[in-house]
Every structure is written in C-alpha cells, then in structure tokens.
Structure 1
C-alpha cells in the first residue's frame, strides 16, 4: 500500500504529463468545432484582410472525424465459451447510458488520440457498476515498464467551482485529493507562494475512508487509443487534416477578397486630371477647387471626363473558377489521406450503382474496422472490470478472451442485408447469430426468440410448413431439452 507522500508524488508526475498532452488535445478539439485561425497568408494579406476572416472556416475536420464514429456501434459482449451474448453486461451498458456516451467516447478518441473508460462499484446497486467514458484532457493511465496493457496507476483530474479535484486509482487502493483553484491575476511570485500553500490535500470523503480499498485488484480505468504506435503515442485523426484545412481556409479567404475587388471588369482613366469642383465665395467668384469624391462614381457608375488626351482602359475580371478548382483538388487530397469517401465531402450525388457506392466506401470501412480492433481490446477489458465489480471472477476470466459485438461497418440497404443473411441461413448459420449480425442487441435477440416461440405455440401448422419448405430443423420448444445430433452422439 502506498503512503500519502508516494501517492502525492505520483499525482504530480501524472498531472505534469496530462498538462503536456493538453495542448494538442485542445487544438484538435478547436479544429473539430471549426475554431481555426487563418494561416499560410502573406504578411500583407494578413495585415489588410486577416481580421475579416478570423471567425471563418470551411470546416472539413468535423466530417473526417464524424464519418467513422457514426459506424462504431457496440451491440453486445460475448465471453469465451458462450454461445450467446451476455445479457447482464448489456444491461449494465444500457443502464449507464453508454449507447449514447460511447459515441462521445469514440469521438473523443478520434479527435484527441485517446479516450478512457472508468468502472467502479455502485453502493446503491451492487449488480450495476458505474461505467463512464472519460476525456483525454482529464484522465491518464500509467503502464508497467515495458508493457502497453498492464496498468500501474490512473489519474482523473477535473475542476468544479473554485476547487481542483484529483482521484488516483491504484491496484489496491484509491486516493482522493483536492486543492483551491489557482487565481490567474496574481504576480508570478505570489502564484509561487499560493502553489506551495495550496498543494494537494486529502479530500474529505465523509464516512468513506481515504484511501479506500480497491476490491477489484486492478486499476479500474482503461485507455482506448486511436491509431496506436509501437514506440510512440497514438495519433489523432484530426492531426493529419489541420494543414490541408488551413490551406482550404486561406484559398476561400483569397477567393472572397478577389470576389470583392476583382470580380467585375475594372476601368481606369488615363491622361486626365482628377475631376475638380470649383469653390465659390459669397460673391460668386471662384476662389479655389475641391477634389470630387470618387466614391460617388462607384455608386453612380458615371463620370464626365474632359481633356484631349483622356482615354479609358480596362482590366479583365479575375478568374474565380481557378480558386474553386484548387479547393476541390485540396478536398480530394484530404479525402484520400483520411480514407473518407469523396461523396461525403463534395456534396454531390452521382448516378452510381449500389456496388459502386460500396466500393467507394471501402477505405472508410477498413478505417472503421481498424478502430473496432483497437477500441475492442479496451472495451473487452471494460467488460471484464464490470464483472469483477460484480464479484463474478470466473465470468471475468472468461471475458479476457471474449469479444465485443459491433454493428456492421458497411452501409447497406435493408434489402441487401436481408438477402445476405438469407444466404447465410441457407448455409446453416443459426438464427441467433444472424440476428446479432443484423444489428440487434442481445436484449432484442432474446425478445425475438421468445416471440418466435409464441408464434409456434399459436400456429404449429405454419412451423411444419416451414420445416418442409426449407428443410430446417424444428425449433426447440420452451423448456424442452435439445436432442444432440447423431454425429455428435457418435463422436461422444
């Protein structure tokens, strides 16, 4: 068990690493929200026009980040050796609202390079642990030296009101600390004094001990990395988009400026003096001249030009299509680099067949499947932590080699999906497996099976007809034992 000094030292180290990561996380989140500063502009352009476009962005970053997240839908968990999905785990998932919150967690991982899931027991309901997705700007996990999976400690740090809070999770205990929120308007010297006086102190937890024991015996926070590397940190999907996004914003700013100044033919008067208006005194005598306001010419579109050498020249209007062509090329590069289908970005619907659209989305489907692989490892550990929090050690051990069930990554019509499942049924795949493949949750699959059983009881003739026409085996009656197949009996 760690001492208070050791716990505070670990909190300080993890907090420093969390602060170091915060800059990139905030930057990528700002790009996702469209808060992008004008970059790559020349000094002259930025000086005269930069302020006009400080709040403008043609935000493609959000589309790139959202496109895989909308296809990441968890439909259940299945332990090793089990033939059906675990309905108890799915109940915990739904009670904690993770149908929706998981989308927030996946989006946080895509933009911030990682997100986290925290599992802890619920004193009000021992069968339903509390499971929450945590943002990478507030949470961090430390691993054992030389390992990317064995967790040594975890920290969650956040602000509420005028207090900073920190919770340190270790394998055997949990420490809770707090400190006053530092004021920003103090001198550096006074800030140093306050930092010494307002350091982390154990939080008042009422009747609960601090530290309190960790009954699960493992660190209860799991990291979901996005694009993990062997010897480096995971990569945000937004990181590779920011440069091209800045270029697209600059091109639009230049196009708007050219549209304002040079979208119409410009005429210039040569060989003539600037038009002047005579200035008269009270007696009607000309005493001087006043230059004519040229802004009036821009409104009236007419001018009286005198002088024998006066002539008119014209500048052609700027070719604004050149800008839009470059922008389309830039968006195409962005689509290729991020494996985002171009019809997601260009916004045009072409007369393409269903097979052609599926082929166009192949890159995105592969990108989603990669995220399912890495997120799935973390979520499988989350399911194990839930079972440990429930005291089900045997089931938790089986879940270590279990799997996460996902909805199909491909975007198919109901007719295509039904046709594919029908062919799989003819090959011998069981109905329950097909129902999960269709995208039903374990709860929905159980309900459908019960409804089918009730239909058989109400109309046994239709069941006999089904067996004769399809050659299928009879469905088991409620409460009846399933007879083993002859081959299985002989093998036994």
Structure 2
C-alpha cells in the first residue's frame, strides 16, 4: 500500500467520527436543539422563548474529571515526574480526561524537543486518529492534521518512521497532500497514545453523554412545558360579561380591558367580572423529579449534584454513600486511563534513556476519588502509624503529599532534630557558609 493511501485511510477515521463528536459537543455545551416541543407551542410563544437547556451533561463529565488526578508513578520512573510537570501534564491531564469522557477519546503524543527532553502534547480527536491491529489491538498507525496559513498539515506516525505532509489548500480532508519530510522513529512503536473511554473490547469509543442525551431532552422538554404553562396559565385570567365591545377601523374587536389595566369599570348594570384560577404547576415538578431520578441512576450522579430539593446529605457518611456509584465509575476509568498514562511514561523514559519502551516497568498512581474528611483521614493514618503498621513516609503519602513534599518534610525534620542537638554544621564541614 502506498504512503498516500495509508494517509487517506487514517485521515478517514477522523471524518467518520465527526458527526458523532459534533452531537456530543453540542450536548456538552448545552447547545442542542430543543426536543419534543410541539409546533403549536412554538407558534404560541413566538420569539419570546427560543431555547432552554439544563447542562446536566457538563456536570456529568466534570464530576468525574475532577476526581481523576494522577499523583505520581512507581517503578523505573527516573525523572518521569519532573518531565510530567515540565510538560504541564499536572494540568493538561485533566483536559485529556474531559475530552475522552465527552467525545469518547483523546490522545497524547510523545516526542523529543530540541534539547533531547520528552515533549508531550495532549491532542483532540478532532485532529488526531489512530488505527489498530485487529489481532493485538495495538496502535499501528496514527495521524495528526491541522491547518495554518500555509495550508493543511498532516503528520503520519508509524512504528518505523514519521512522515510529514502538506496540502497547499486549507480545509483539505483526505486528498491533496504531498510528502515533505520523512523522519526515523527510534521507539519502534507509534508514539501516539489514545485515551479510549470504553469498557468494551469492540465498537467505537463511548461518551459519558450517550446514555444521558435522551433523558436530558426529556428534562428540557418538561422545563419548556412548565415555562409555556406559566406564561399562559400560570397566573389568574380575568373575564368580563355584559360589556359592550367596540371595533377598530378594520372591524376587529377591541378588548376594553387591556392586560395593563389594573381596574375594570363598566356603566352597564348587567356587567359581571371575575377571574379564572391559575394552573397548578406541581405536576411539572413531579415529572422533573422522575427524570432526575433516571439521570442519577444512569450517570451515577448523586441527587445533591442535580440540585434536587430535599435530597441534601445529612452527614459526611451519607454523602459518601450517595457518591458510591460515581466513585465506582471513576475507579473504573482510572483502570482504563491508567494503562494509557503508563505507556506515556514509558515513552518519556525512552526519550531520556534510549531504552525500548516495553523494557520500562512502572505504574501510575491516582488520588483517592472518594470524598473524605481531612480530619477523619488524618485520624485513621495517625492510628495506623502509632500502631506501627505504617512507616512515616508511607503515612505522609496516604495523607496526599507528593514524593517531593515527603522529601522536603523529611529534610525539615532532620534539620530540626540536628538543631535541637546543637550540631554545628560548619564544624562538620557539611555546609559551606560562603
């Protein structure tokens, strides 16, 4: 197969997923069209009511993404954590998680900068796609496409080489590209790592929004109906009988008592006035509660995340119990995304050392996704340390301190101990006062 055909195939993967990604993006931004609104209702409200959307989809994604926090690596890490922070992955990793949870997948590209240090970038599925071996499901080819004033650029990654392409015309999709440069790939594998949000082996990557979309449409429809009802039946309507009506020049009947009038007056003795009761909107509240319960069951969001009245947790234990389903989903995503981040770390070590990525053994560490009281957590760790079950270093890590912070704490404690004994560092030659 020629290189241009390989490029066209992998670029076609980007285009195949575009409609699905566009739908998910609209729901994430709460810009989806209002579903189920009857034409009669739309005609009645005119331009006064264009769109309503409650952004539950955004809450579902951010509530999981904010609990997915990489705290470090164990094993043959070397300078992985320093390179991690230098590439701003302590912030960008959260963006990669949100992209994967929303659109189904995101990507990380690892290469070397001009100084030979690991260069790691987080990529969107709008620009990057991969192809896999159907037998091993390993990435065999990847591409990144973007636009600039010079035209449309594309870079195709393969296990043995990397080729750069350029199409002079902007907006090129799968054709019009010409080869401009070929580079050797020293890794022996494709340096593009996908973060795929799926617990299934086959089929396209899934989004956390797929199951929520119809329920969010139903919720928006109920809210729209409630607003339409409040506009036309949510307040008392006045009526009058026995009043002589007038007509305008076109023969249309003119209401003698416009809505702005606060008083109705008539000299006719047979005139009668009254008011129709306002419509009860409680049925809409009941419908909203039913839909919110379904959203909570499908998404794992606890009721207090959805703003349901009367469902606020009474205690910290009740809050943890309400968030158990959400925490379980986050732990499952940690297992899925963890393999990808470990591959990224292996590639970073390979850039530094020249070792094959598969020869590097390491594991990713995650922050606890559960909501915990700092006082309770500290009390439990102190009891385990006092009982001799945990060393001081491990106890500090259990409290959430990073390896750097643990090292600083241990150094400060050693310095304080030496100060307490009156040790003269200058006399020992440990420090040079100059």
Distance in structure 1 (CA, Å) of the matches to 2:203 and 2:246: 70
Q: Is the CA contact 1:116–1:135 (under 8 Å) kept in the aligned structure 2? A: yes
Deviation at 1:449, TM superposition (A): 2.4
Say which SS state the counterpart of residue 116 (structure 1) adopts. strand
Deviation at 1:431, TM superposition (A): 2.5
Residue of 155, 160, 165 corresponding to 2:148: 160
Q: Does 1:419 align with 2:379?
A: yes
Cα deviation, 1:465-491, whole Å, max 9, x if unaligned, reads xxxxxxxxxxxxxx9xxxxxxxxxxxx
Q: 1:38 to 1:175 in 2, by over 3 A?
A: same
1:8-23 matches, within 5 Å, as 8-23=4-19
Deviation at 1:378, TM superposition (A): 0.7
Distance in structure 2 (CA, Å) of the matches to 1:133 and 1:437: 29
Residue of 53, 71, 90 corresponding to 1:99: 90
Counterpart of 2:327 in structure 1 is 365
Say which SS state the counterpart of residue 17 (structure 2) adopts. helix
Distance in structure 2 (CA, Å) of the matches to 1:427 and 1:240: 48
Distance in structure 2 (CA, Å) of the matches to 1:55 and 1:87: 53
Counterpart of 1:408 in structure 2 is 368
Counterpart of 2:316 in structure 1 is 354
Q: Is the CA contact 2:147–2:170 (under 8 Å) kept in the aligned structure 1? A: no
Greater radius of gyration (CA): 1
Q: Is the CA contact 1:34–1:59 (under 8 Å) kept in the aligned structure 2? A: yes
Q: Does 1:180 align with 2:176?
A: no
Deviation at 1:271, TM superposition (A): 6.0
Deviation at 1:293, TM superposition (A): 3.6
Say which SS state the counterpart of residue 39 (structure 1) adopts. coil
Cα deviation, 1:427-485, whole Å, max 9, x if unaligned, reads 52222223233222222222222222223322369xxxxxxxxxxxxxxxxx9xxxxxx
Distance in structure 1 (CA, Å) of the matches to 2:34 and 2:357: 54
Task: Please tell me the root mean square deviation across aligned C-alpha atoms, in Å.
Answer: 2.8
Counterpart of 2:21 in structure 1 is 25
Q: Does 1:70 align with 2:47?
A: no
Say which SS state the counterpart of residue 259 (structure 2) adopts. helix
Distance in structure 1 (CA, Å) of the matches to 2:256 and 2:241: 18
Q: Does 1:386 align with 2:348?
A: yes
Q: 1:456 to 1:269 in 2, by over 3 A?
A: same
Distance in structure 2 (CA, Å) of the matches to 1:50 and 1:360: 42
Counterpart of 1:439 in structure 2 is 400
Distance in structure 2 (CA, Å) of the matches to 1:195 and 1:439: 46
Distance in structure 2 (CA, Å) of the matches to 1:295 and 1:223: 70
1:454-473 matches, within 5 Å, as 454-459=415-420
Q: Is the CA contact 2:245–2:255 (under 8 Å) kept in the aligned structure 1? A: no
Distance in structure 2 (CA, Å) of the matches to 1:195 and 1:16: 8
Q: Which runs of 5+ in 1 are unaligned?
A: 184-193, 204-209, 278-287, 462-478, 480-492
Q: Is the CA contact 2:313–2:319 (under 8 Å) kept in the aligned structure 1? A: no
Counterpart of 1:341 in structure 2 is 302
Deviation at 1:303, TM superposition (A): 3.7
Q: 1:65 to 1:367 in 2, by over 3 A?
A: same
Cα deviation, 1:293-322, whole Å, max 9, x if unaligned, reads 428521114444577876556432111222
Distance in structure 1 (CA, Å) of the matches to 2:356 and 2:4: 35
Say which SS state the counterpart of residue 364 (structure 2) adopts. strand
Cα deviation, 1:10-34, whole Å, max 9, x if unaligned, reads 1111111211111111221221122
The number of residues matched between the two structures is 421
Counterpart of 1:474 in structure 2 is none
Residue of 291, 295, 303 corresponding to 1:330: 291
Residue of 105, 117, 129 corresponding to 1:140: 129
Q: Is the CA contact 1:118–1:220 (under 8 Å) kept in the aligned structure 2? A: yes
1:36-435 matches, within 5 Å, as 36-49=32-45, 51-79=47-75, 86=77, 88-124=79-115, 126=116, 128-148=117-137, 150-161=138-149, 163-182=151-170, 199-203=176-180, 210-270=181-241, 274-275=245-246, 293-294=254-255, 297-304=258-265, 311-312=272-273, 314-346=275-307, 350=312, 352-393=314-355, 397-399=359-361, 402-425=362-385, 426-435=387-396
Say which SS state the counterpart of residue 199 (structure 2) adopts. coil
Distance in structure 1 (CA, Å) of the matches to 2:324 and 2:316: 13
Cα deviation, 1:370-397, whole Å, max 9, x if unaligned, reads 1100000111111111111123427862
Distance in structure 2 (CA, Å) of the matches to 1:424 and 1:368: 27
Counterpart of 1:488 in structure 2 is none
Say which SS state the counterpart of residue 36 (structure 1) adopts. coil
TM-score, length of structure 2 as denominator length? 0.89
Say which SS state the counterpart of residue 297 (structure 1) adopts. coil
Say which SS state the counterpart of residue 168 (structure 1) adopts. strand
Distance in structure 1 (CA, Å) of the matches to 2:356 and 2:13: 36
